[in-house]
Each structure stands twice: as structure tokens, then as C-alpha cells.
Chain A
Amino acid sequence: MPEQETSVAVENLVKRFGDFVAVDRINLDIRKGEVFGFLGPNGAGKSTTIRMLCGLLKPTSGRARVAGYDVAREPEAVRQNIGYMSQKFSLYNDLKVIENIRLFAGLYSVTPGKLKERIEWALAMANLKGRENLITGTLPGGWKQRLALGCAVLHKPPIIFLDEPTSGVDPISRRQFWDLIHQMAEEGVTVFVTTHYMEEAEYCNRLALIFRGKIVALGTPSELKRDAMKGELLLIECEPLGSAVEALQSAPDVMDAAVFGNALHLVVPDADAAVPRMEKYLANHGIVVSRIEKIRPSLEDVFVSLTTARDAGEERTA
């Protein structure tokens, strides 16, 4: 990261609804030009945090500064300095391309002096020059999505919030879209991504995982895969799979067992030590193991491990 300037600074941020603590003293420090991913299961405090960062909800206590503005005291200024794009809702399908751009320019109060230049810029970025009069709904997915991004940044915000921006988009368009995002980040735009899809999380420079209102993990995707997982992962191919799952429920040292098609993923404290023990244990239950090996956890494995371990009432410092 060439820039070290802070773009989003969150200190001990708290939001209570009655007795319920939705966001519990979280701290974040996001640099200018960083692509930052914010992950967490439904109801973990993710949306509440974002609503506070966008100046839409007042924090109970703590502080958050976005693009230099305090979200509690200057929510108007915060809203003028952010862009927002979601794959689910962003454009009006029955409007023409140019009508969508004009609409968003109006919503974001782009000044008349800059309007022409910004429209040209958005059309160029979305590769839609000469196609201004097409109905938005008829555009292929990848184009629509670039247009949505163009509309979200018409007012040149220093920070943009993306919510599952590439869900459902084909992998080739998705790669091109993320290239564009990284280019914008290189030019100094801070990108704040929320998603349930680990394929999208892999494109972020750093990730934070929120669970029950607290940040439970923070780091680059490879750091999280290396360090954040509670336990190690074994891949087991065996027959019959159904009895294996049942037998493993009560096996010693098995922290989690999940079926993946024709194989099992097992979370254990020490994979190397577990291999001979699991082979023996499964053989004793009449299960034939054809393959057993330690594998590297995916981001999803990490996500599930961190949010279910705590479900079981275990404590662990983040």
C-alpha cells in the first residue's frame, strides 16, 4: 500500500437496541486505497455497523470517522462523501442507460459544471459509449454491473460501499469487475465490501469478521487461512459416507464434520496426529477410507470455524 492515510477510523463503536448490544466496542482502521472486506453471518451486527458508517444510524457510544467526518456529528457530510452499490438493487431496468446516469447524478448532487464530464467518464468506464439509449434491463450482466458502479461513483466519493457486487455474475465478467475495483483503489478510492461469498472475499486486501457484535478476526485472506482457524482440516473420502458422519459425531477430538459431495471435511486440533487415529476409528466402525489427508482451509472453513466455535460457548480472544 503506497498510501497510509486513514480513510475509515472506528473507535470503540457501540450500538444498543434496548438491552440488545448489536455492535459491541468495535475498532477498525481502514487505509485510503484499501479494498476492505467486512464479513459476518446474518444478525452479527454487519448491517448495523454499515448503517452507522454511512451516517444513517447514530452510534450509542464510541466514534467513527469516515473520509474525515464524524458519523454522529456530520452525517450529511459523510453521506456526500460515499458511494453505494449493490448487485441486488442499483439501477432502474426500465430506464435508458443515460437516464440512469442522469438520475444518479441528480441524487448525488453532481454540479452542472461537472455533469457533462462525469457522464462521459461513466460511459467510458462502463464501455457504453454509443449505447446511451439502450434500455438498461437489456444489457448483459457484466455491463449492467459496470454501469451500476459508474453511477455509484459519479460524484467522485473517496469511499465506496459495495454489497455483494458480483453475485450471480459469470466468472469472466467478475474478474474484469474486480480489476476495475483494484484500479480505483490504486487511484486512492477506499472500497468497503460486504459479502457472504468467499469468492468475493478473496479479492479484498484485508478482511474483518464480525460475530455477535464483535470483531473476531482481522487480517489478509492468506493470514486468516493460515492463523485464524481453530484447529486443522482433514479431507476424508470413505464409504459409506452416511455412517461415517454418524460415527464421527461422537469421535474424540472431532470439532466439526461437514459433508462436501463425496468427501468429508473434519476439523481436528492436530491433523497429523489425527490421521492414524481417524483411520483406525473409522475402520473399527466398518468404514472403508480411500483417502485421508491434511488440507489447507478455505476462507469459508475459517468463517464457519470462528462463528460456530463461539456458538458452543467457547471463549477466545480476537
Chain B
Amino acid sequence: MTEQLQSANRSAIKAEGLTKSFPGVRAVEALSFDVRAGEIFGLVGPDGAGKTTTLRMLAGVMPPDAGKATVAAFDVVRDPEGAKHALSYMPQRFGLYDDLTVDENIRFYADLFGVRRAEREERSTELLKAAGMSEFRKRLAGKLSGGMKQKLGLVCALIHRPKVILLDEPTTGVDPISRRDFWRILYELIAEGVAILITTAYLDEAERCHRVALLNQGKLLFCDTPANLKARIGKDVLSVIAPEPRRLRSALEHADGISSLVLTGDGLHVVVDDAARRIPEFEARLKSANVPFDAIHQVAPTIEDLFVDAVAGGASSHA
């Protein structure tokens, strides 16, 4: 435990004022954050938020215009080779060879990273087991499902026991079951003191990280634990279930106290100032308008609620 605490105080990744522009667009703007050993840190935001650019700068494959970054104590600009040795970077399209088997792909990456044979065997057995892929060692990579391919990519990226792992949208297009397997491997890794930086466009996936940097258009909106982020919205969220969601919306959209209102498949998701006050008001309003509804519940705010509140001031979704 004390060892864990000590390692928790070391920054495995430190970004200070990272900035990068491409013609006509400021991709990343003065971004600062740090990731500790044994931590899963999420860079979360929609396409175009600057997630991939940030990862490329940290991986030492793209120099920043300004700012600095250290990975495992190596300066990624001045000593990119040192940094590359300590980290593993899994880009969105990880280079697996479709016509090689699972084992052959692993062997290829092990050789590339200079992993000795005995160690390679031990490590790949352990990783394939964690990935639930032990029985697929002889299968061609091209014959694997999307989720399996992503897990094999991760196994290859981890074969040399890197201290820092950079994963760019590893779960995009992966089904929820494989997604859970993937995250289970990540949680097993942090016990070894590895620092993990992962990007995702899915705001609900942020819940699985220890800390999250919420990005939009190259800028950092917030950086905190998922629980603190959700508390930060300072508003209450209601879920209203009803057989005719559109009628429900017409009846409620001009009610007082609403800062955002979204039509879902079987009701409404409403952000309000004060649930205790608004629930009885809404119930009365719906009854007098004769709009049927099953229930109004207060639900926990989501990171999406915070994102919308921060970016649109909560006023957009009526439009």
C-alpha cells in the first residue's frame, strides 16, 4: 500500500502548455495535465477535440508548437528516443498483420522491442489469458472480430512492459462485452504501476477512468475525477418516462427551471435547477394537460450533461 502511495505521487506523464496548430485550426491549445503511475487518465471529447494530436505529441511522433511534455521523466521534444523506450503508443489503426497468426504478431512486436524469448513466452501467455484469447493463438489476425483485434493490439503494445501506455480510441466500434474485457486488462495493468492515458469520444466511458480531462475544440474544459465532474454541474437531472415522448415535450418545454431538455426513446431527460421543487410542479402540469406519464425520477447527472452545460450554457437543446 505504501509503495502504491509513493508511486501515486510521481507524475508518469506531465504536459505543460502543449499547443499545436494546423493550417486554419488550433488543434490543441495550452493543454496542461499530469498522469500518475498506477492511474487511468481519460482524454475525453468529441471528434476534433484534439485528443489524437495530444497523444501524438506525447508519443514523440509530432513536435508541439509550444509547451513541453515529459513521459517517464524523459522530455519528449529533447529526448524522444528515451521517451519512446519507456512508453507504448497504440494509435487508432494499430499495425497488425492480417496474414500472420496471433502468436506471430506478438512475436513480431516482441522482436521489434527487443524482448527476450523466455520473457516473451511468459508475458504473452499472461496477457492472452487476461484478454480471454488463449485459445486463439493460432488464428490469423485477419480472422478476428473487431473487439479481438483491439485486444490483440493491446497485447502487442504491452509485450515489453512499458511504464506508460498511450491508447487512442481503443474501444471505438467494439461491442460492450469486448469493451469490458479491454477495461479489465487495463485495471490489471495499473496494479503493476503502469500509467495509462486513454482517449475516447464516448462520454460514458469516462466513468471508468480515475481522472478525466474533458476536451472540446482543442481546449480543456475540466479535469477531475468522474464523481467530482458530475457534482460540478450544480443542477439536478430528471428522467420522465411516458408513452408519447413528443407530447410530453410539448407539455413541459416551457416550464420554469429547465436548463436543458432532451427527447429520448421513451421519455425526456431534463436538467433542472431544483428537483425537489420541480418534480411536483411538472406532475401537476402534466396532469392538468392530460398528458400520460409513468414516472418522474431524479437520476444522477452524466458527464454528457456537464459537457452540454459547459459548452452551450445548457440553452441549446431546445432548438
Contact = CB atoms under 8 A, between A and B. Distances in A.
Chain A interface helix/strand/loop/mixed: mixed
B246 interface: yes
A261 B209 contact: yes
Contacts of B203: 171, 199
B178 A171 contact: no
B174 A196 contact: yes
A196 B265 contact: no
B180 A304 contact: yes
B91 interface: no
Interface in A116-164: 140-141, 164
B99 to A, nearest CB: 21
Nearest to A186: B246
Most buried by B among A40, A171, A222, A308: A171
Interface stretch (A18-26, A68-76, A99-107, A201-209): A201-209
Nearest to B266: A220
Given A43-B145, A172-B317, A307-B177, A259 B265 contact: no
Contacts of B46: 141, 168-171, 173
B187 A259 contact: yes
Nearest to B188: A242
Given A171-B304, A172-B317, A202 B175 contact: no
Given A172-B308, A196-B173, A196-B175, A262 B317 contact: no
A186 to B, nearest CB: 6
Interface residues of A, number: 54
A303 B227 CA distance: 24
Contact of B176 (A41, A140, A164): A41
B307 A171 contact: yes
A14 to B, nearest CB: 22
Interface in B218-271: 225-227, 241, 244-246, 262-267
B172, B176, B245, B299, most chain A CB atoms within 10 A:
B176
Interface in A183-235: 186, 196-199, 201-207, 220-223
A240 interface: yes
A41 B172 contact: no
B177 A179 contact: no
B311 A172 contact: yes
Nearest to B227: A262
B47 interface: yes
Interface string B201-222: 1111001111000001000000
B172 to A, nearest CB: 7
23 contacts: A40-B175, A41-B147, A41-B176, A41-B177, A141-B46, A167-B172, A168-B47, A169-B47, A170-B46, A170-B49, A170-B307, A171-B311, A173-B46, A179-B263, A186-B246, A196-B175, A201-B265, A202-B265, A203-B265, A222-B241, A242-B187, A296-B299, A307-B176
